[in-house]
Amino acid sequence: MSIAKSIEVSESSGITFLDIDNSLATARISLFGGHILSFIPKSDNKERLWLSPHAVLNGDKPIRGGIPVCWPWFSDDHGREKGALPSHGFLRSQVWQLKASEDNAAGTTIYLAPSFTRADGFEYDCQVTLKVTVGQSLQVELITQNTGLVAFSFNTALHTYFQVDDINHVELTGISGDYKDKTDNWAVKQTPAHYTVTGETDRIHMTAAAQVAINERSVAVTRVDSQGHDSLVVWNPWQGAASIADMDAFGYKHMLCVETACTGDIQVAPGGQHILTQTVVPL
């Protein structure tokens, strides 16, 4: 297999990295977890993804930051007791393979596949592909194909950590409707008209917003475009970051998760497929 000229392959502490550098942007992908770690468009040279300075980058545990792939369940929604199975599924803690890559007019397109898709908690025949296009925007497509004889259901998310200069100066626009508030025993609440983050935030927005903007005062805006989702998750641990081992106590000031998600059951018939897409658009 030939590798696109814009991609440099390196290895560190047992993890293989793909470093992409084309005329439009740079990016870094870890094959451990099929995990995008960085996206810097050359239009403004501003890093769009947040990676914890304490992220474990040796394959011992999932990476904190970037774009983790949650599949085939979100959080602990696997039907068993909490902790019985890995949170957010088993794709983000295995080694993925580079299946194909190419340089094209859109930038650089990469196809990755996990080592396996059948494990405890999900025992169906399927194929998962992560298609990543690094260009003026960063487009991520998580493709789940049913290759078996019976239908199955799953849920999933692209758990993106966005880098912000100061969380106190961030406003989200484009989200409306009700959300479930995990910090308040899953109470259903109305999305605020003026959406800022002023404390611990863990919300499942049940309206599948197609476009959301992360607006920072006097700083570049990032738009999040989503397709194939049924909800949008907004998360910031606030001062709870101090209790997260691989996160700096003040890291919450510089990150905000806006996650394109399927938190309800997605049904895939034999021969069918589901595509979850998130596009990070610099403005």
Q: What is the DSSP string of 171-198?
A: EEES--SEEEEGGGTTEEEEPPSSEE--
User: According to the model, what pLDDT value does residue 79 have?
Assistant: 87
In a domain, 112, yes or no: yes
User: According to the model, what pLDDT value does residue 276 have?
Assistant: 98
- Sign of the torsion formed by the C-alpha atoms of 31, 113, 28 and 236: negative
User: According to the model, what pLDDT value does residue 232 have?
Assistant: 98
Contacts made by residues 209-212, CB under 8 angstroms, sequence distance 24+? 209/174, 209/175, 209/176, 211/174, 212/172, 212/173, 212/174, 212/175, 212/258
Catalytic residue among 35, 205, 229, 259: 259
Residue in this structure with the two tokens 């050359």, named with its chain if needed: 42
Paired tokens of 271 = 């021969």
In a domain, 91, yes or no: yes
How many domains is the chain partitioned into structurally? 1
Q: List Cβ neighbours of 10 (8 Å cut-off, separation of 6 or more).
A: 16, 17, 19
Mean per-residue pLDDT pooled into runs of 10, the chain (283 residues): 96 97 98 98 97 97 98 93 94 97 97 97 97 98 98 98 97 98 98 97 97 90 97 97 95 98 97 98 96
CA distance 179 to 269: 29
User: According to the model, what pLDDT value does residue 57 have?
Assistant: 97
Residue in this structure with the two tokens 């990295």, named with its chain if needed: 17
In a domain, 175, yes or no: yes
Looking up residue 187, the CATH number of its domain turns out to be 2.70.98.10
Residue in this structure with the two tokens 């849920």, named with its chain if needed: 155
CA distance 257 to 241: 13
In a domain, 1, yes or no: no
Domain span at 268: 7-282
- Sign of the torsion formed by the C-alpha atoms of 192, 196, 199 and 200: positive
CA distance 278 to 259: 9
Confirm whether 259 is a catalytic residue. yes
User: According to the model, what pLDDT value does residue 1 have?
Assistant: 84
pTM: 0.97
Confirm whether 229 is a catalytic residue. no
Q: List Cβ neighbours of 39 (8 Å cut-off, separation of 6 or more).
A: 25, 26, 27, 47, 48, 49, 134, 138, 280
User: According to the model, what pLDDT value does residue 153 have?
Assistant: 98
In a domain, 93, yes or no: yes
In a domain, 2, yes or no: no
CA distance 58 to 41: 27
Catalytic residue among 78, 159, 205, 229: 159
Q: Determine the distance from the C-alpha atom of residue 65 to the mean position of all C-alpha atoms in its chain, rounded to a whole number.
A: 9
In a domain, 127, yes or no: yes
User: According to the model, what pLDDT value does residue 145 have?
Assistant: 98
Paired tokens of 34 = 């099929």
Q: Determine the distance from the C-alpha atom of residue 68 to the mean position of all C-alpha atoms in its chain, rounded to a whole number.
A: 5
Strand partners, 89: 71
